[in-house]
Amino acid sequence: MSDTLLLEIRGNVLLITINRPQARNAMDFEAATALAAALDELEARNDLSLAIITGAGGTFCSGMDLKGFLEGKRPSIPGRGFGGLTEKPPRKVLIAAIEGYAVAGGFEMALACDLIVASREAKFGLPEVKRGLVAAAGGLMRLPRQLPFHVAMEFALTGDMLAAERAYAYGLVNRLTEPGQALEGALALAGIVGANGPLAIAASKQIMVESADWSREEMFARQQPLTAPVFASADAREGAAAFAQKRKPVWQGK
């Protein structure tokens, strides 16, 4: 694994840290490749239920490394998008822990996550228009689904910053923390999520993401093949047994 990305396992949580503080964690091709590999590891390991992505040095990610861009090296992976994430988020839950700035592609990476924990002093933005560029890594598509339309349009067209407390008020951020505590807040949230059945977590996420364009007539039929294996799993039986026996369940992920 490249030193542009640090990995640490804490229980059933994979902690991913973008480690380019000298460049405000701007994403380059090497970091994107490393992040894609980390997400593959997350998906492949049965002992990992979810991941947290954060940035070193008090900044989440300042977007694309413009020096690399000028050299013709964009930090995108074919089929996976910016940072190896935005076009193909993992099946398992991904939490963004944000200090400082999450802007441009960094904001788009956060929008591709399932949950966001941010410092009260964090700032979000899509400033691409200020540079003659377009937020093409999902920001223009995801932001109006997560903010009121005209509010999203304002930030897309002005390129101005969105303060964390305003983002929290709109529901874009799940939890606010004091400065320097975003990772601890994300770990606490991960502990609550990760205590639940891993198959149930993954299926719940998949249904919520995919059902956005299901019609009323087909939605239960579309849901059934995703939920049936969970109800038939050993974990479902373990969950019921643990409840009856007043003990914590021991999940196997099968």
Q: Assess whether 152 and 229 both reside in one domain.
A: no
Q: Clarify whether residues 186 and 212 are in a common domain.
A: no
Domain extent at residue 232: 198-244
Which residue among the candidates 8, 30, 128, 210 is catalytic per the annotation? 128
Residues 65 and 103 grouped into a single domain: yes
**Exposed e or buried b per residue across 103-122, where buried means at least 16 C-beta atoms within 10 angstroms of its C-beta:** bbbbbbbbbbbbbbbbbebb
CATH number of the domain that 100 lies in? 3.90.226.10
- Of the residues 8, 71, 108, 178, only one is catalytic, namely 108
| Active site (annotated) includes residue 128 | yes
Number of domains in the chain: 2
Indicate if 47 and 167 belong to the same structural domain.
yes
Whether 105 is in a domain gets the answer: yes
For residues 184 and 216, state if they share a domain. Answer: no
Phi and psi angles of residue 161, each rounded to the nearest 5 degrees, phi first = -85, 145
pLDDT at 2: 61
Contact by Cβ (8 Å): 164, 119: yes
pLDDT score recorded for residue 237: 94
130 and 16 fall within a common domain: yes
Q: pLDDT tens digits for the chain (254 residues)? A: 468 999 999 999 999 999 999 999 999 999 999 999 999 999 999 889 999 999 999 999 999 987 777 777 788 999 999 999 999 999 999 999 999 999 999 999 999 999 999 999 999 999 999 988 899 999 999 999 999 999 999 999 999 999 999 999 999 999 999 999 999 999 999 999 999 999 999 999 999 999 988 999 999 999 999 999 999 999 999 999 999 999 999 998 88
Q: Are residues 93 and 172 in the same domain?
A: yes
How high is the pLDDT of residue 67? 76
Whether 203 and 182 share a structural domain = no
Token look-up 């999902």 returns: 138
Measure the CA–CA gap between 26 and 22, rounded to whole angstroms: 9
Q: Are 205 and 158 within one domain?
A: no
Q: How would DSSP label each residue in 71-134?
A: TT--SEETTTEETTTTTS--SSEEEEEE-SEEETHHHHHHHHSSEEEEETT-EEE-GGGGGT--
Q: What is the pLDDT of residue 73?
A: 76
